[in-house]
Amino acid sequence: MMLLEKSLSAIVALLLVATLINGMLLILRPGKDWRELTLRIRTWWAIVIVFSLALLSPQWLALTFFALVSCMALKEFLTLVPVRHSDRMPLFWMVIAIPVNYGLIGSGWYGMFVVFIPVYVFLFLPALMVIAGDTQGFLRTASQLHWGLMTTVFAFSHVASLLVLPADGKQTGALLVLFVVGLTEFNDVAQYLWGKSLGRIKVTPRVSPNKTLAGLLGGIVTTALAATLLGPIITPLSWPMASLAGFIIALTGFCGDVVMSAIKRDIGVKDSGTLLPGHGGLLDRLDSLIFTAPVFFHFVRYFYF
């Protein structure tokens, strides 16, 4: 069994333990409402299975999977923000930008990938909006469209970029993806547990009242430690660089979480959607990864590839 398969099997084993614990809680404490926890674990099973199949698939199929996730995330974002009737053409070209973006990743054309959406699409979209002649709410709409495309497509697609980064014919890319995605989700759980256990000082009380200094610091230390242990085993990172990567993932993951919380508060919603029972919408699960993936990608590309 290859290292990737072993790593995915370990994740499945942890999820199986969580399922057994949930079952014991339902039996031992039937008076308490465990529905949300049960829903979360069931959804995690679906996420882990689909994600594992993507990593084990041929590269073109994995890229297609990530492109579909971007498309779904962008659609979810656009359902949250007001879109003008006159913006149908820009919205059409935003969708077209998704396969182009992932096609550039698959072709290995890094130079064009890093400028296609941040430069060319950034300039092209407002030009299309001008053609429609609707200036009411122009700046706000352009900002929302740019933000949606940059986060759900460009930033998130750095996960797929990790997959194709090392052209060594091995599983290095898939393991890098597993490393950043796994640690990002681990950091979310660690910050939640530390915050619930020791949290007193609020970090962003008006944006996300549950975010505490203890949760942030505890998550950073725990995630850095986990990265130090796992990095040298499943990635090319040495233990000092793995520790630094863990620190970066924990800090940027926190930033992604609170930024998306601020956006949802501005819009006036608790969750971005209902696609993932027990979790909310797709963006509720991708919020941290949208920040961690591009930063980690450039970190490993600069130092290792």
Residues in the chain: 305
- Is the domain of 158 the same as that of 279? no
State whether 120 and 7 are in the same domain: no
> Residues 47-58: what's their mean pLDDT?
96
**pLDDT-derived band of residue 50, with 50, 70 and 90 as boundaries?**
very high
Select the more confidently predicted residue: 200 or 249: 249
CA-to-CA dists, residue 6 to 134, 168, 178, 189, 276, angstroms: 55, 20, 12, 22, 26
- Let me know: does 178 contact 4? Beta carbons within 8 Å: yes
Instruction: Using a pLDDT cut of 90, give the percent of the chain over it.
Output: 81
Torsion angle of C-alpha atoms 280, 266, 192, 220, degrees rounded to 10: 120
Residues 175 and 264 in one domain: yes
**One domain for residues 42 and 76:** no
Position 17 confidence tier, pLDDT thresholds 50, 70, 90: very high
Domain count of the fold of the chain: 3
For residue 37, name the pLDDT band (cuts at 50, 70, 90). Answer: confident
Helix-strand-coil percent breakdown of the chain, rounded to 5? 80, 5, 15
pTM: 0.94
- Regarding whether 130 and 30 lie in a shared domain, the answer is no
**What pLDDT is stored for residue 132 in this prediction?**
83
Same domain, 30 and 152: no
Residue 89, domain extent: 58-164
Do residue 238 and residue 281 come from a single domain?
Answer: yes
Q: Of all helices (H) and strands (E), which one includes residue 156?
A: none
Which 8-state DSSP code applies to residue 210? E
Tokens at residue 22, please? Answer: 């949930």
Residue of higher predicted confidence among 137 and 149: 149
Q: In sequence order, what DSSP letters do the residues of 34-101 get, joined into one string?
A: -HHHHHHHHHHHHHHHHHHHHHHS-HHHHHHHHHHHHHHHHHHHHHHS---GGGHHHHHHHHHHHHHH
Of 12, 29, 56, the position where a domain reaches its end is: 56
Per-residue model confidence as pLDDT tens digits over 184-204: 999 999 998 898 888 789 998
- Final residue of a structural domain among 164, 186, 215: 164
91 and 146 part of one domain: yes
Same domain, 119 and 142: yes
Verify that 49 and 62 share a domain, yes or no: no
Q: Are residues 174 and 296 in the same domain?
A: yes
Based on the domain organization, do 147 and 268 belong to the same domain?
no
